[in-house]
Copies of this chain bind each other. A is one copy, B any other.
């Protein structure tokens, strides 16, 4: 006879071990993707960067350094356990539509910021689905979609003279296990914490806040990040 015992609720700061997971980075040849690949490979994570062209991905992987390999986007999605989506907003919908099968069952981490720019600076765009992350959720019904890594400076990520990145990563999603996995991934990068910050329906403002950080950077000549206090 089996006794069913309710497992205790996970404590908010407990994190799973993600060191064996393969991380894919779609759009990994861009600045944000390169920076994340560099930092994750630097702590021993196996990283696979994707690009439309497998050749370009392999060249970029070799430039980024040890622990990083390249493939076309479809193979990147197929081979990775966690897939970070770091493409420009303009290519977001088409890419995810094309990779629906490859991304089935995977944890998808959307870090895309839909922004427009004019002579007054950056401003937030409003995707019809509410946010880039909700667009991803709608396009990828068989994936575990989360949103994170929006506020990182690609400059700081790629500058290895900076040992620790002084910022928290806001992690959003409707699947507790998936968001905990992404929080653990963020926490592997020295200086960062992964902080749960709500459901996907509250992703728009997190994506859009990059417009404000761009204003901060311009005014203060900074590479601003965010820390959550009292956590």
Contacts and interface: CB of A to CB of B under 8 A. Distances in A.
A204 interface: yes
A202 B13 CA distance: 32
Interface centre among A120, A172, A209, A212 (most CB of B within 10 A): A212
A198 B227 contact: no
Given A205-B208, A205-B211, A121 B231 contact: no
Given A198-B211, A202-B212, A227 B226 contact: yes
Q: Which 6 A-B pairs have the closest CB atoms?
A: A198-B215, A205-B208, A205-B205, A225-B229, A227-B227, A222-B230
Interface of A: 12-13, 120-124, 153, 156, 166-167, 170, 172, 195-199, 201-202, 204-206, 208-209, 211-216, 219-231
10 contacts: A124-B204, A167-B229, A196-B219, A204-B205, A205-B209, A206-B212, A209-B209, A216-B231, A224-B230, A226-B227
